[in-house]
Amino acid sequence: MPPTTSCPHCGAPLEPLTVVVNGREVRVATRPCPCPGAAAERAELERREADEERARLVRQAARRVERAGIPRRYAEAEHPKAQAVSAKVLAGRGVYLHGGNGTGKTHLACAAALLCLMRGMDVRFAVVPSLLEGIRSRSKGAGEAVSSLSSCGLLVLDDLGKEAACTPYAAERLFDIVNERYNSMLPVVVTSNFTRGEVARRISEGEVGVAIASRLAEMTDSVHLDGADRRIHG
Q: Which of 4, 5, 6, 10 binds Zn ion (CB under 5 A)?
A: 10
Q: Could you tell me the smallest distance in angstroms from the CB atom of residue 6 to Zn ion? A: 8
Cβ closest to Zn ion, residue 42 vs residue 119: 42
Binding segment for Zn ion (CB under 5 A), chosen from 6-14, 109-117, 207-215, 217-225, is 6-14
What Rg value do the Cα atoms of the chain yield, rounded? Answer: 28
| Alpha-carbon dihedral angle through residues 36, 41, 46, 49, given to the nearest 10 degrees | 170
Is residue 30 a contact residue for Zn ion (CB under 5 A)?
no
CA triple 142-145-151, angle to 5 deg: 150
β-bridge mates for residue 124, sequence order = 155
Selected range binding Zn ion among 9-17, 84-92, 103-111, 134-142, rule: CB under 5 A: 9-17
Q: State in angstroms the smallest separation of the CB of 42 from Zn ion.
A: 11
Of 7 and 61, the one with the shorter C-beta distance to Zn ion is 7
| Beta carbon nearer to Zn ion, 33 or 216 | 33
Nearest distance from residue 34's CB to Zn ion, in Å? 7
Asked if residue 9 binds Zn ion (CB under 5 A), the reply is yes
| Residue of 16, 38, 121, 129 interacting with Zn ion (CB under 5 A) | 38
Q: What is the nearest approach in angstroms of Zn ion to the Cβ of residue 12?
A: 5
Is residue 35 a contact residue for Zn ion (CB under 5 A)? Answer: yes
Phi-psi region of 34 (alpha: psi -120 to 50; beta: other; left: phi over 0): alpha
- Report the 10 Å Cβ neighbour count for 40: 11
CB of 32 to Zn ion, least distance (A): 9
Is residue 88 a contact point for Zn ion (CB under 5 A)? Answer: no
Quote the least distance from Cβ 50 to Zn ion, whole Å.
Answer: 23
| Whole-number Å distance between alpha carbons of 208 and 129 | 16
For the CB of residue 5, give the shortest distance to Zn ion in the complex, in Å.
11
**Is residue 7 involved in binding Zn ion (CB under 5 A)?**
yes
Q: In sequence order, what are the beta bridge partners of 98?
A: 192, 224
Neighbours of 126 (CB within 10 A): 23
Distance CA 117, CA 123 (A): 6
Q: Is 5 exposed, middle or buried (0-12, 13-18, 19+ CB in 10 A)?
A: exposed
| Residue closer to Zn ion, measured from CB, 42 or 67 | 42
Q: How far apart are CA 195 and CA 222, in angstroms?
A: 8
The footprint of Zn ion (CB under 5 A) covers 7, 9-10, 33, 35, 38
